[in-house]
Amino acid sequence: MTPLKRTMAQANFHRAGLESVIIQLAGKAEAILPCLAKGAFDLVFLDTDRSQYPSWWPSIRALLSTRGLLVVDNAISHHHELEDWMTEVAQDPGFQQLLLPIGKGEWLLVKNP
Ligand SMILES: C[S@@+](CC[C@H](N)C(=O)[O-])C[C@H]1O[C@@H](n2cnc3c(N)ncnc32)[C@H](O)[C@@H]1O
């Protein structure tokens, strides 16, 4: 993300009155994801480099809390890029999943208790 976008995001957090509860982390996801607290995230929204999702999946899987929700954007618009990974993840008994045909296609995964 560019410095301008980071500044815009921070301004939006401020306008929403949420600056004190949001920590913005800037950097490569592959460097940041393994350092975050496992089981501590109730919501993860994935909308970045789709080719990296398979290698990021073990970290993301571990970060989600019980009943945590993962939302994957572009699950219909770029299905051809995601289908191998989606097929693999859909077989994971630790999650329930639903493909929502809104926008560009949102794939929802909820971590089972
Ligand atoms: C489709 S855009 C996301 C747009 C964002 N959801 C928004 O509404 O502004 C993809 C973003 O992922 C970032 N990105 C690409 N590879 C990344 C990586 N390895 N780690 C972190 N961010 C990455 C790009 O810089 C870009 O800002």
Domain spans, the chain:
25-111
Residue 72 pLDDT > 90: yes
State the pLDDT confidence band at 56, using cuts at 50, 70 and 90. Answer: very high
- Give me Rg for the CA atoms of the chain: 15
Atom 5 in ligand 1: residue holding the nearest Cα: 47
Count CB-CB contacts under 10 A for residue 74: 18
The residues lining ligand 1, judged by C-beta closer than 6 Å to any ligand atom, are 1, 28-30, 47-49, 52
Across the range 56-69, mean pLDDT stands at 98
State the pLDDT confidence band at 1, using cuts at 50, 70 and 90. Answer: confident
Residue 23 pLDDT > 90: yes
C-alpha of residue 113 to centroid of ligand 1, in Å:
30
CATH of domain 25-111: 3.40.50.150
Under 8 Å CB-to-CB from 52, ≥6 apart: which residues? 29, 30
From residue 5, give the alpha-carbon distance in Å to each of 9, 10, 63, 74: 6, 9, 25, 20
